[in-house]
């Protein structure tokens, strides 16, 4: 007769009994099977809530404060948010003449972005 010794570290091996002359396979007990295959649960997805309108209002308020500070300090910097670009535009101006010395992003980039927005509107209107 062949017997097997099972431990918690070793996988369950079926035991073949040859005493009766037939090959009978004994399966592992359910407790051992559960120990070998732990139940894995997936964590719940985190719920993230963002109030974009409040964030935009906070951003516009912060930009207006910065512009006031720059103007009061005698600096020719102007910050704004351009919706076509989707980001900030910074202008450096001459305080005496009011002309734009430098703009980031460049004025050409801003014009191209506005042209693309106009083109999107035309394509959408014609497709309908």
Q: Are 89 and 103 in contact (CB under 8 A)?
A: yes
Tell me whether residue 70 is in a domain. yes
Residues 32 and 56 in one domain: no
Query: Is the torsion defined by CA of 115, 116, 119, 125 positive or negative?
Result: negative
Same domain, 31 and 63: no
Look at the chain and report how many structural domains it folds into. Answer: 2
* 11 and 34 both lie in a single domain: yes
pLDDT (tens digit, 9 = 90+) per residue, 80-112?
998 888 888 999 988 888 888 999 999 899 889
The answer on 32 and 62 residing in a single domain is: no
Residues 33 and 56 in one domain: no
118 and 62 fall within a common domain: yes
- Is the same domain home to 34 and 58? no
What is 59-90 written as a DSSP string?
HHHHHHHHHHHHHHTT--EEEEEETTTTEEEE
Query: Domain residues for 27?
Result: 1-38
Residue 13 predicted with pLDDT over 70: no
Per residue in 19-78, pLDDT (tens digit) is: 544 444 445 455 555 557 788 888 888 888 888 889 989 999 999 999 999 988 888 899
Structure-block tokens of residue 56: 């935009």
Q: Are residue 32 and residue 60 in the same domain, yes or no?
A: no
More confident residue, 30 or 120: 120
């Amino acid at each position: 007769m062949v017997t097997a010794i099972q431990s918690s570290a070793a996988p369950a091996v079926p035991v073949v009994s040859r005493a009766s002359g037939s090959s009978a396979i004994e399966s592992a007990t359910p407790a051992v099977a559960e120990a070998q295959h732990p139940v894995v649960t997936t964590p719940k997805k985190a719920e993230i809530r963002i109030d974009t309108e409040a964030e935009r209002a906070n951003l516009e308020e912060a930009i207006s404060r910065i512009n006031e500070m720059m103007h009061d300090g005698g600096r020719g910097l102007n910050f704004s948010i351009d919706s076509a670009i989707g980001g900030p535009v910074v202008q450096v101006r001459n305080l005496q003449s009011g002309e734009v010395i430098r703009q980031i992003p460049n004025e050409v980039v801003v014009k191209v972005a506005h042209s693309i927005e106009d083109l999107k509107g035309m394509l959408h209107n014609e497709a309908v």
